[in-house]
Amino acid sequence: MDVDIGDLASILLEHAQDKLAVVDESGRYLYVNDASESILGYEPAQLVGEQSREYVHPDDRQTVADRFERVSATGDRSATVRYRHATRSGEWVWLESRFTDLPDDALEGYVVSSRDISDQIAAERDRRDAESRLRTIAGTVGDVLWMFDGDWSEVLFVNPAYEDVFGQSVADLEADPQQFLEVVHPDDVPCVREAMRRASSGESVDVEYRVNPTTDYGRWVWVRSEPIIEEGEVVRIVGFSRDITDRRRRERQLAVMDNLLRHNLRNDLSVILGNAECIAREAEEPSRGRAEIIRQQGADLLESADKQREIIELLTAQSVPDTIDLVPVVADAVEPIRERYPDAMIRTALPDAATANALYEIQLAVTELLENAVDHAPDKSPDISVTVRSRPETVDIEIQDSCPPIPEVEFRVLTGDWEMDDVYHTSGLGLWLVYWVVDLSDGHIAFERTETGNAITVTLPRGQL
């Protein structure tokens, strides 16, 4: 079958998705295809003979005129321009048009091929707004926010906080990203290189190190990085760097004071306890009884010092919750209590497994709660039940006892409703240890007085093995 090329071209023009038009030297429409109706709402006949300039947004007319002149006056064969074109409904639609001057006088006029890019313009505007908001936020926070490409060869984004924390200008970093290592303490560079390698391999990385030679590397930063993976390849690495200098300083001070206190306290208490035992053994009443009081109070103080050490280690270790099966944890906490207090009745109801996200010190917390229950029993023979329950989102450890009611000041410590201050007194530091272990595990504690005693429930986020 013979096909008329002219007819075929006419059919293709009328069914094209882009708006196709022919304009003369003055910009008057000579021809418009049917796509004008779907894009602009105008039928072709309504535009033919009209001056195209009148349909261009006033703010864009000069830009369009300049592009058109480039084709008509300078000899360029084509030019592209973006602008807003009026619609029949009185609104504006964004078009991207290409003006073409066909060679050899094949057509009297200029071909204008236009496509609707309104959605693209809106997306670009939203992206610019989002970037502007991000830069505004990033410019006001103290943390260093940054983004590198997958192999750390290009800085894609870094906020101004970088200069104050790291002691290096953003411009220098952007010019040569490898200069970043020059402001890291030399002893920490191998650790940082390894963290960078792991992030480029697709791992999430946490690391702490010293930076800023202008402060003699006196700044400590905590850096968290996350790889962005597309189609199995790390294409970007994003993260933040937080100045933790004050925290590290407090930790060092706390550790020094803790060591000094424990060393001196133990030495002095050893002398006190030794002499108290001699008096209690050799003296007559009432001195013997008073010496026994001194000995018992000294032993309690020594026990508090041990728990203080456990709290200091907990608060300075920077541990993070991990997925733990609580069943063996609870079993291991119960067994030594049974051995130390044979008169206590301790029953357990444990499932085969119950995984939760918690610190490994959770066993210390369970042990402390059990010891606290035994100590509150007048005859050291309480009836205690320990139950572990798995729920859809959490895991509960419930401890019920037959002891007298726990004083309000102590159960409010457990539930976090009482702040420690200089006028606060408690029977020991053990309950604070329990509270902080559970709190750092992103859990919480509930307390209830029952008809027979007390019920304490530790709730922890459920984990997946």
Nearest residue to 447 (alpha-carbon basis) of 392, 377, 372, 382? 372
Residue 134 lies in a domain: no
* 376 Cβ contact partners less than 8 Å away, ≥ 6 residues apart: 382, 401, 403, 404, 406, 454
Predicted pLDDT of residue 308: 66
Q: Does residue 380 sit in the same domain as residue 436?
A: yes
Q: Does residue 14 sit in the same domain as residue 100?
A: yes
Residue 426 reports pLDDT greater than 60? no
What is d(CA 93, CA 40) in angstroms, rounded to the nearest whole number?
7
Find out whether 314 and 254 touch, Cβ atoms under 8 Å: no
Last residue of a domain, one of 73, 93, 122: 122
Residue 428 lies in a domain: yes
Angstrom CA distances, 281 to 139, 218, 377, 382, stand at: 71, 56, 29, 32
Residue 132 lies in a domain: no
What is d(CA 286, CA 342) in angstroms, rounded to the nearest whole number?
32
Q: Please report which confidence band the pLDDT of residue 337 belongs to, taking 50, 70 and 90 as the band edges.
A: very high
Q: Please report which confidence band the pLDDT of residue 12 belongs to, taking 50, 70 and 90 as the band edges.
A: very low
Q: What angle do CA 201, 203, 209 make, to 5 degrees?
A: 105
Last residue of a domain, one of 262, 297, 316: 316
Residue 398 reports pLDDT greater than 90? yes
| Average pLDDT across the chain, whole number | 83
Residue 135 lies in a domain: no
What is d(CA 454, CA 445) in angstroms, rounded to the nearest whole number?
13
Q: Does residue 236 sit in the same domain as residue 262?
A: no
Residue 221 reports pLDDT greater than 90? yes
Residue 127 lies in a domain: no
Predicted pLDDT of residue 108: 73
What is d(CA 165, CA 237) in angstroms, rounded to the nearest whole number?
20
Residue 422 reports pLDDT greater than 50? no
Tens digits of residue pLDDT in 43-98: 999 999 999 999 999 999 999 998 888 877 766 678 899 999 999 999 999 999 99
Predicted pLDDT of residue 124: 86
- Would you say the pTM of this structure is higher than 0.75? no
Tens digits of residue pLDDT in 132-152: 666 666 555 668 888 999 999
Q: Please report which confidence band the pLDDT of residue 9 belongs to, taking 50, 70 and 90 as the band edges.
A: very low
Q: Picking from 46-60, 238-252, 443-457, which range would have the lowest pLDDT averaged per residue?
A: 238-252
Residue 133 lies in a domain: no
- The residue ranking higher by pLDDT, 218 or 398, is 398
The domain in which residue 435 lies consists of: 322-461
Q: Does residue 408 sit in the same domain as residue 381?
A: yes
Q: Does residue 51 sit in the same domain as residue 169?
A: no
Tens digits of residue pLDDT in 99-115: 888 765 656 788 899 99
Last residue of a domain, one of 225, 243, 261: 243
The CATH number of residue 181's host domain is 3.30.450.20
Handedness of CA 70, 72, 78, 82 (dihedral sign): positive
Q: Does residue 118 sit in the same domain as residue 9?
A: yes
Q: Does residue 152 sit in the same domain as residue 197?
A: yes
Instruction: Report, as an integer, the average pLDDT of 203-213.
Output: 93
68 CB neighbour count, 10 Å cutoff: 22
Residue 337 lies in a domain: yes
Find out whether 57 and 84 touch, Cβ atoms under 8 Å: yes
Domain count, the chain: 4
Q: Does residue 368 sit in the same domain as residue 425?
A: yes
Tens digits of residue pLDDT in 264-314: 667 777 778 888 888 878 878 888 888 888 877 777 777 766 766 666 666
Q: Does residue 79 sit in the same domain as residue 100?
A: yes
Instruction: Give the 3-state secondary structure of residue 323.
Output: strand
Q: Does residue 153 sit in the same domain as residue 83?
A: no
Residue 131 lies in a domain: no
Instruction: Give the 3-state secondary structure of residue 288.
Output: helix
